[in-house]
Amino acid sequence: MPVGFVGHGNPLNALGGPLAEAWQSWGRDLPRPEGVLVVSAHFEAAPPTLSSVSGAPLIYDFRGFPEAMYELSYAPPPAPEVATAVERLLAPGLEVGRAEGRGLDHGAWVPLMHLAPLADLPTVQLSIPWADDGPAMLELGARLAPLRDEGVLILGSGNIVHNLRRVDWSGSGAVADWAAEFDGWVAAALSADARDGLAGYREHRLGPTCHPTPEHFVPLLVAAGAASGDAPSFPLAGFELGTISSRCVSFG
């Protein structure tokens, strides 16, 4: 299976728009997975923790949105086999927890609503255990890579650029130069298979500006680690409100 990363952007993408259309197109082009493992920016827990293993209600982890957002539903089958495979791959020296009552958060279900609209793919979510340790997150992805041979789609969900404090909420401004530059650096690093350089993204002069906190970047490192050696393609490069990069990346 390929590996994917989506810039999930605004939760309102659940209702449609350019990103939703791009995800729909991308989903039609992907081979059908046996299951899906999502690593979302909105689930941080250590040790690595699996949620939605047995199925649980969606998490509407946002406030102040239209009522229609809280009425959306997405209920894919649980994926206990994928969870067991994750535990098997990480077990040597690494404990894996389970959060049985935790459902999919919006970083997972918003893009999946469009990537897999029939909600028929067994899906489980894995937490971000070490958001401040880029190399460890890259290694986590590498340890999960054998899932691909079992037909599992590994999907990272975050944003290449995520600084809400510098968002132009009017949406009228051009893409900020600093955001475009960092996005281009990430794309070049992926194209060159320079994954180790990406793991040190905060050493880039724009790293702290583009990511005041790390949780939206490190899902890309998990995906990159699982796809080491695969050539990436970029079906979409877009920006939310001029400062949040919503690039989608596919490997393999």
Which two tokens mark 243? Answer: 């400062």
pLDDT at 239: 45
pLDDT at 250: 79
pLDDT at 166: 78
pLDDT at 243: 45
pLDDT at 245: 58
Q: Look up tokens 């999960």; give the residue.
A: 144
Distance CA 230, CA 252 (A): 5
pLDDT at 97: 97
pLDDT at 13: 92
- pLDDT by residue for the chain (252 residues), tens digit each? 999 999 998 899 999 988 899 899 999 999 999 999 999 999 999 999 999 998 889 999 999 999 999 999 999 999 999 999 999 999 988 999 999 899 999 999 999 999 999 999 999 999 999 999 999 999 999 999 999 999 999 999 999 999 888 776 666 667 788 988 999 999 899 888 898 899 999 999 999 999 999 999 999 999 999 998 787 876 655 444 444 556 677 776
Domains of the chain as residue ranges with CATH = 3-231 (3.40.830.10)
Distance CA 79, CA 186 (A): 32
Q: List Cβ neighbours of 84 (8 Å cut-off, separation of 6 or more).
A: none
Strands 239-240 and 244-245 turn out to be: antiparallel
Which two tokens mark 38? Answer: 């999502």
pLDDT at 235: 62
